[in-house]
């Protein structure tokens, strides 16, 4: 039975969701499939209709931020420019939502695309093409740096290497973000959080946001070691928070990588059960960064591994129950609006 919606009038800007059609590629993964592949296979098709259905489950979602996911790339384009197709597609979804035909939701009010920053200075024309395709909605990029020596942690969809964020070519490309007033979403795994700290110190004027609380791991060789590794994660988060140009996204903990809950997919846990599980991570991040540099995220549909959309946001509301009204406004919408430059959709306080 669906949960009653908590604090239903609280405005939400969901700063991290995907849109994709993975049906053509899911058959390429051999059996037995990695747990993450199985988790996304439960939502192989997630476009505006599916997002709209989730955001209309009772919470007041007034806006969203699209996060790149390698979908709808432009066929026939040169390799560096293929991701422009994704931003073109998402801008169309944003325009559809902005018509007002679907209520107050302004989906994809900000768009985060992908550019291969290891192109160095050659990344600049790609960034310019992404900005043009976004028609005023493009805000920055994510170039995922998640990697682990144990290949079973991430599985076959990911083929990144170690020390990406420290490489000279990556940083040559990264330098253009600050010059163009763009943001960077950093997705790394828990042992790599220090790489984001080093990057943030090297580029103190570029806004960076750490995705998914830094992705604590409870999979493959990390399975059952969340408690053992918590102090290391906590120390890394507190050190990263010393960088004033860095914010953090509060979520992603229901991913198959994190295994909170480990049963998945869609384990059926209530928000009352999920909140204590996520509390140490969410509280640490808020204490370290403050409400004005922290934002709750759905990471949908990936986090369907652990919760449906309504239950996910109920869980976040339980975790923020003791926050002040101003803090709640920041955590659920204000920080996202500020970081991603979203104007005109957040109701007056």
Distance CA 132, CA 185 (A): 20
Q: CATH number of 11-339: 3.30.420.40, 3.20.20.140, 3.30.1380.10, 3.90.1170.50?
A: 3.20.20.140
What is the CB-side half-sphere exposure of residue 109 using CA atoms within 13 A? 25
Task: Provide the token pair at 110.
Answer: 């900000």
Distance CA 44, CA 265 (A): 14
At 265 the pLDDT is: 59
At 73 the pLDDT is: 96
Residues 6+ apart with CB under 8 A from 50: 43, 301
- 214 phi and psi, to 5 degrees? 85, 10
Distance CA 204, CA 243 (A): 8
Q: Give the Cβ contact number of residue 217 at 10 Å.
A: 24
Q: Are β-strands 60-67 and 183-186 bridged in parallel, bridged antiparallel, or unpaired?
A: unpaired
The structure's pTM equals 0.97
Nearest to 93 by CA among 81, 107, 104: 107
| DSSP notation for 284-345 | HHHHHH-GGGEEE---BTGGGGT--HHHHHHHHHHHTTTS-HHHHHIIIIIHHHHHTT--S-
Task: Provide the token pair at 302.
Answer: 């990936």
Listed by start position, the domains of the chain span: 11-339
Task: Provide the token pair at 79.
Answer: 């390799």
pLDDT tens track of the chain, all 349 residues?
Answer: 789 999 999 999 999 999 999 888 887 777 767 888 888 888 899 999 999 999 999 999 999 999 999 999 999 999 899 999 999 999 999 999 999 999 999 999 999 999 999 999 999 999 999 999 999 999 999 999 999 999 899 987 776 789 999 999 999 999 999 999 999 999 999 999 999 999 999 999 999 999 999 999 999 999 999 999 999 999 999 999 999 999 999 999 999 999 999 876 566 899 999 999 999 999 999 999 999 999 999 999 999 988 999 999 999 999 999 999 999 999 999 999 999 999 999 988 7
At 266 the pLDDT is: 61
Distance CA 50, CA 53 (A): 5
């Amino acid at each position: 039975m669906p949960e009653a919606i908590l604090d239903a009038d609280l405005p939400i800007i969901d700063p991290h969701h995907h849109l994709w059609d993975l049906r053509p590629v899911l058959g390429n993964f051999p059996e037995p499939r990695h747990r993450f592949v199985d988790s996304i296979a439960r939502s192989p098709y997630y476009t505006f209709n599916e997002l709209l259905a989730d955001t209309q489950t009772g919470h007041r979602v007034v806006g969203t931020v699209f996060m790149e996911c390698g979908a709808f790339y432009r066929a026939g384009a040169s390799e560096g420019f293929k991701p422009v197709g994704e931003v073109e597609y998402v801008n169309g979804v944003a325009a559809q939502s902005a018509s007002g035909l679907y209520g107050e939701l302004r989906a994809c009010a900000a768009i985060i695309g992908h550019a291969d920053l290891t192109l160095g200075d050659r990344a600049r024309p790609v960034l310019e093409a992404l900005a043009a395709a976004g028609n005023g909605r493009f805000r920055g990029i994510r170039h995922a740096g998640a990697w682990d020596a144990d290949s079973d942690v991430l599985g076959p969809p990911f083929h990144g290497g170690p020390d990406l964020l420290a490489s000279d070519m990556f940083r040559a490309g990264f330098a253009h973000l600050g010059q163009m007033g763009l943001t960077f979403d950093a997705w790394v795994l828990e042992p790599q959080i220090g790489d984001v700290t080093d990057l943030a110190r090297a580029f103190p004027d570029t806004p960076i946001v750490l995705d998914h609380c830094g992705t604590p791991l409870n999979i493959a060789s990390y399975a059952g070691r969340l408690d053992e590794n918590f102090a290391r994660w906590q120390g890394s988060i507190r050190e990263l928070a010393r960088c004033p140009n860095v914010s953090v996204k509060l979520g992603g903990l229901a991913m198959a990588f994190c295994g909170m809950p480990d049963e998945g997919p869609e384990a059926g846990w209530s928000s009352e059960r999920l909140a204590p599980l996520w509390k140490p991570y969410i509280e640490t991040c808020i204490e370290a960064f403050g409400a004005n540099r922290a934002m709750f995220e759905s990471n949908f549909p990936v986090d369907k591994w652990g919760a449906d959309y309504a239950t996910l946001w109920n869980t976040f509301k339980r975790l923020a129950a003791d926050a002040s009204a101003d803090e709640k406004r920041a955590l659920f919408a204000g920080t996202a609006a500020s970081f991603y430059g979203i104007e005109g959709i957040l109701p007056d306080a």
